[in-house]
Amino acid sequence: MARYNYVIGDVQGCFEALKALLKSIQFDPDQDFIWFAGDLVARGENSIGALRFIKKLVERGAAATVLGNHDLTLLAGARGLKKIKDKDHTRDVIDAIDSDDLIDWLRKQPLCLFPNEQTILTHAGIPCIWSAEQTAALAKEVEAVIGHEDFAVMDAFLQEMYGTQPDLWSDDLTGHDRLRCITNYLTRMRLTNAEGRLEFSFKDSLDDPMPEGFQPWFEFESQAAQTHQVIFGHWAALQGKSVHPQIQNVDGGCVWGNQLMAYRLEDRQLFAVDNPMMH
């Protein structure tokens, strides 16, 4: 058993901040364990450094990660299926000498993890209509396709991954519609309505006006939160708020000049460091 388990929010390639955070919590890879909430890469100063470092930690048994939307976008970019945006500083990953290794490792990471029996972690959260068990099972459907031994199976999905429809879960969904809908809930969700329908345009803070009928997904009675503590990143404007006694955000918005956060599961304490590249 690990001495301490920490969940770390969206690193986004902020490698200097990650090193500073690990130092501040006195992280010991021989004793402690890190659970990353996804978005390992993108807008920060050193995506390749962060990715290599996290991969090493995972391979030595000191960490695990879920995939976030930026990680999936990197996969699509690396496969030549999506144009890499300049502001996503991931070109160095794709051009790296160990790019194939990194991409192959990344695509085999899960979308959902259970850091302990009482805790469930996904990048963007869990819609009110899913239980923890259902979330894990649906995540596995996407994982099987992204991590498939035949790259063509992954490519076919990545090509179809982008889009906002269907925006409401149904058990009857099939094929790429089903996979896209699961992926959007687990990696892109912010607002839903009471039946769990997704709304994609809103990215602001909780004080800003929201589209009629929509609220943050965690404002609705959550099936998953009745059995587990739900931990998520993705929503930088939340700044690591505990949004419900059983629902905790860990995205401190480090890449936007705010903080990188680690949440210690043993005592629910939050640790944070400023982004040294911004100060």
Domain extents for the chain?
Answer: 5-274
| DSSP element (H, E) containing 6 | strand 5-8
In this structure, which amino acid lies at residue 248? Q
d(CA 263, CA 35): 9
- Split at pLDDT 50, 70, 90, the class of 197 is very high
5-274 adopts what CATH topology?
Purple Acid Phosphatase; chain A, domain 2 (3.60.21)
- Split at pLDDT 50, 70, 90, the class of 1 is low
d(CA 7, CA 186): 17
In this structure, which amino acid lies at residue 7? V
Neighbours of 61 (CB within 10 A): 11
Could you tell me which of 230, 157, 163 has the C-alpha nearest to residue 200? 163
The answer to whether residue 144 scores a pLDDT higher than 90 is: yes
Could you tell me which of 146, 151, 13, 161 has the C-alpha nearest to residue 90? 13
pLDDT of 279 reads 65
Q: Is the dihedral of CA 65, 68, 71, 75 positive or negative?
A: positive
d(CA 136, CA 255): 29
DSSP lists the bridge partners of residue 119 as 116, 229
Q: Are strands 33-36 and 5-8 parallel, antiparallel or unpaired?
A: parallel
- Split at pLDDT 50, 70, 90, the class of 219 is very high
- Split at pLDDT 50, 70, 90, the class of 266 is very high
- Split at pLDDT 50, 70, 90, the class of 225 is very high
The answer to whether residue 88 scores a pLDDT higher than 90 is: no
d(CA 7, CA 20): 15
d(CA 210, CA 201): 10
Identify the residue whose tokens are 């979330």.
135
* Mean per-residue pLDDT, 252-272: 96
3-state secondary structure of 204: coil
Reported as a single tens digit per residue, the pLDDT across 106-125 is: 999 999 999 999 999 999 99
pLDDT of 85 reads 86
The answer to whether residue 267 scores a pLDDT higher than 90 is: yes
Burial of 95 from C-beta contacts in 10 A (0-12 / 13-18 / 19+): exposed
Give the pair of three-digit tokens for residue 78. 């690396």
Q: What percent of the chain clears pLDDT 70, i.e. is strictly above it?
A: 99
Contact 17, 273 (CB under 8 A): yes
Pick the more confident residue, 86 or 66: 66
DSSP at 61: T
DSSP at 230: E
The answer to whether residue 271 scores a pLDDT higher than 80 is: yes
* Mean per-residue pLDDT, 159-172: 97
pLDDT of 84 reads 87
Average pLDDT of the chain is 96
Contact 189, 230 (CB under 8 A): no
Contact 189, 249 (CB under 8 A): no
pLDDT of 2 reads 73
